[in-house]
Amino acid sequence: MKERMTLERLTGIVAFARAASSGSFTAAARSLSVSPSAVSRTIGRLERQLGVRLFSRTTRSLTLTAEGQALHDRALQLLQAAEEVVQSAAAARLEPAGVLKVAASMPIGVRLLAPALPEFHRRHPKVRVDLRLGDRFVNLVEEGIDVAVRIGHLADSGLVSRGLARTRIGAFASPAYLARRGVPAHPEDLRDHDCVSFRYQASGQVMAWSFRVGRRIVEFRPDASMVVDASDAIAEVLAAGGGIGLLGSFIAEPYVERGLLRPVLGRFAIDGAPITAVWPESRRASPNARAFIAYLSEVFAPLASDGVGEPAGAAPAGMSAGAQPAPAPSAASRSRRNSAKA
């Protein structure tokens, strides 16, 4: 005789699926808006009811047992089916209302999404936005995310997507640093400068610097004086005179407008990775998701025509054509340019 599914057991399966997907009780608790101890107790109760251990626990790791892996695969199917039931009911509602869960990386969330949320709320006052920022990869279906904004080329994940913009990646430095050390005229000149590089938090790898030289894309990793794993922190280091670093245009723009940073090597700048909105198939008909995705197209439209990091001779974004000229190139830079012409 089959046992009936109780609310307690269903709650345990949900908590278990979130913990298994995120790799920790703490992350699962955060996604469920409960305490880690509540998640631990719920999963422990489920294990006793089923008579199996679902996790191998140590002080530093949480890994699935063979029984746990089998249950996890089925639990994800259950959660996806439940989400489709909820979204089907929501689609019958014409006016956006209720909770909208949005995920994005920290730079995108802080610089672009957060300032735009008040206007979205004014247009759709019945929607409560739950914005979740971080650099870890989020599984939208498992964590109940309605819409995510991602930077980079997307893997074939089965998600629905819409391109929003492309970042423009350029080199920047403070006016004080450039006055002190000179302005590089070519990417080769960076060897004579203090460079500030970015390290990916997920992989620990240091990002390569890319420039368009003629018809070629040149990539290299400079001997950096500093390596930082947050783009906003790099902007602050550069504004304080720490050297030259690469930034996305949407991060650099407010610093350029305030005169804290100047674009350099603008004619060698490249278009960076695409910025894309993604959402599960189950959200396709959701009024909340549809309204937010349409709004994102407005928010990101300026990125398609930003002028931050323009070629030499053009007035950088946020500066008038009559702005003060850049300091002269460094002596080492002039020497190499003259040698090249000889």
So what's the pLDDT on residue 304?
60
CATH classification code of 7-91: 1.10.10.10
So what's the pLDDT on residue 127?
95
Q: 167-272: which CATH architecture?
A: 3-Layer(aba) Sandwich (3.40)
Q: Are strands 262-264 and 160-173 parallel, antiparallel or unpaired?
A: antiparallel
| Portions of the chain given CATH number 3.40.190.10 | 98-160+274-304
| Portions of the chain given CATH number 3.40.190.290 | 167-272
Contact 100, 123 (CB under 8 A): no
So what's the pLDDT on residue 79?
77
| Portions of the chain given CATH number 1.10.10.10 | 7-91
Q: Calculate the dihedral angle through the C-alpha atoms of 246, 250, 256, 262, rounding to the nearest 10 degrees.
A: 20
Q: What is the pTM of this model?
A: 0.60
So what's the pLDDT on residue 187?
92
Q: 98-160+274-304: which CATH architecture?
A: 3-Layer(aba) Sandwich (3.40)
pLDDT in tens, the chain (342 residues): 455 667 788 888 888 888 888 888 888 888 788 888 888 888 888 888 888 888 887 767 788 888 888 888 888 877 777 776 666 665 555 788 899 999 998 889 998 999 999 999 999 999 999 999 887 777 787 788 899 998 877 765 678 888 898 888 899 999 999 999 999 999 999 999 999 999 888 778 898 999 988 888 889 898 899 999 888 999 999 999 999 999 988 899 999 999 999 999 988 988 777 899 998 887 877 889 999 999 999 999 887 655 444 433 332 332 222 233 333 333 334 333 333 333
Distances (CA, A) of 306 to 41, 51, 61, 169, 324: 51, 59, 45, 11, 21
Among residues 109, 116, 118, the alpha carbon closest in space to that of 150 is found at: 109
